[in-house]
């Protein structure tokens, strides 16, 4: 690796790094497209594949604009693109992100969950690119490289747009919701809910049975107490003739006198 003496050299180094990232993405995206089951997700990945090819072409133009002048050549160095861009750089950061995405795609995973995992993997890629292109743009602005800034800004805007699109698919498009419970878990959840419903119905039946069993006992005790009241009434009516008999005895006694 050549010594990085100034910001321009650092910009050139980072351009080579992101160029490697774009090439790795172009290799990884077809696998993601093939694994995706949701039609909207599949289409968005296909669209971004075409966008990524355009972004790589822009980087070719950026590299053309960053040719090294004769004054910048060191002893034994080749000028132009052969000097600065001849050595192949491998972006280790993107290599790791793609590896993690491929690892989750090779797991035993339901297709709805896999769609959510693919979105996560793609957004990790997008966030890396947003960071990379944002940094390149800032360097180019500092160096007054207007044409380079314009090219990098176009790509940066596309990366932001792609990230928002993936978020919309996951959150507002319902892909995360579909992945919340897998089909196999849906069946067990349903049977569990049914068993809970049966248990609750059994409990309510038992409760109503106990209530119905206790109700007649209260009604029976009420009916048993009613005759006692009637008996008291009858005894009062029987006591009335006794008064009449005492009155008639008084009348007889007066007649005798």
pLDDT in tens, 130-179: 999 999 999 999 999 999 999 999 999 999 999 999 999 999 999 999 99
pTM for the whole structure: 0.65
247 in a domain, yes or no? no
- How much is the average pLDDT of 23-49? 96
Residue 36: CB atoms within 10 A of its CB come to 23
Question: What's the alpha-carbon Rg for the chain, to the nearest Å?
Answer: 46
Q: Residue range 16-20: average pLDDT?
A: 95
In a domain? residue 1: no
CA distances from 240 to 52, 175, 236, 251 (A): 116, 92, 7, 18
Which position has the token pair 């280790």?
Answer: 92
Q: Does 213 reside within a domain?
A: no
Average model confidence (pLDDT) across the chain:
76
217 occurs within a structural domain: no
Expressed as residue numbers, the domain containing 155 is: 7-182
Q: How confident is the model at residue 120 (pLDDT cuts 50, 70, 90)?
A: very high
**Residue 106 placed within a domain:** yes
Report d(CA 130, CA 142) in Å as an integer. Answer: 18
Residue 87: DSSP 8-state: S
Which CATH number covers residue 175? 1.20.1260.10
Tokens found for residue 184: 């196999």
Domain assignment of residue 231, yes or no = no
- pLDDT, position 99: 97
Q: Band of the pLDDT at 3, cuts 50, 70, 90? A: confident
pLDDT tier, 28 (very low <50, low <70, confident <90, very high otherwise): very high
**Quick check: 126 and 44 in contact, CB under 8 A?**
no
User: pLDDT-based confidence at 95, cuts 50/70/90?
Assistant: very high
Q: Which of 12-26, 83-97, 136-150, 234-248 has the lowest mean pLDDT?
A: 234-248
> How many CB atoms are closer than 10 A to CB 44?
21
- Please say whether the beta carbons of 113 and 182 come within 8 A: yes
Q: Residue 195 falls within a domain, yes or no?
A: no
62: which 2 tokens? 């950026």
Residue 55 lies in a domain: yes
Chain segment 185-233, per-residue pLDDT in tens:
555 444 444 545 544 444 444 444 445 444 444 444 444 444 444 444 4
What per-residue confidence (pLDDT) applies to 67? 80
CA distance 19 to 26: 11
* Cα 194 from Cα 202, distance rounded (Å): 12
Per the structure, the count of domains in the chain is 1
């Amino acid at each position: 690796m050549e010594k990085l003496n100034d910001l321009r050299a650092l910009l050139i180094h980072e351009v080579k790094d992101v160029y490697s990232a774009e090439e790795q993405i172009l290799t990884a995206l077809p696998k993601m497209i093939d694994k995706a089951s949701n039609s909207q997700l599949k289409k968005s990945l296909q669209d971004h594949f075409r966008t990524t090819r355009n972004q790589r072409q822009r980087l070719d133009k950026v590299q053309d604009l960053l040719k090294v002048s004769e004054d910048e050549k060191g002893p034994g160095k080749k000028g132009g693109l052969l000097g600065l861009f001849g050595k192949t750089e491998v972006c280790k950061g993107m290599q790791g992100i793609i590896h993690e995405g491929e690892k989750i795609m090779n797991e035993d995973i339901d297709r709805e969950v896999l769609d959510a995992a693919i979105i996560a993997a793609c957004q990790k890629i997008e966030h890396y690119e947003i960071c990379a292109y944002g940094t390149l743009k800032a360097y180019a602005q500092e160096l007054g490289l207007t044409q380079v800034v314009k090219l990098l800004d176009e790509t940066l805007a596309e990366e932001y747009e792609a990230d928002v699109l993936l978020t919309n698919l996951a959150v507002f498009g319902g892909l995360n919701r579909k992945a919340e419970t897998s089909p196999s878990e849906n069946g067990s959840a349903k049977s569990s809910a049914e068993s809970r419903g049966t248990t609750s119905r059994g409990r309510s039946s038992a409760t109503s049975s106990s209530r119905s069993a206790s109700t007649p006992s209260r009604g029976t005790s009420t009916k048993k107490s009613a005759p006692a009241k009637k008996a008291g009434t009858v005894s009062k009516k029987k006591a009335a003739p006794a008064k009449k008999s005492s009155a008639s005895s008084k009348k007889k006694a007066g007649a005798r006198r």
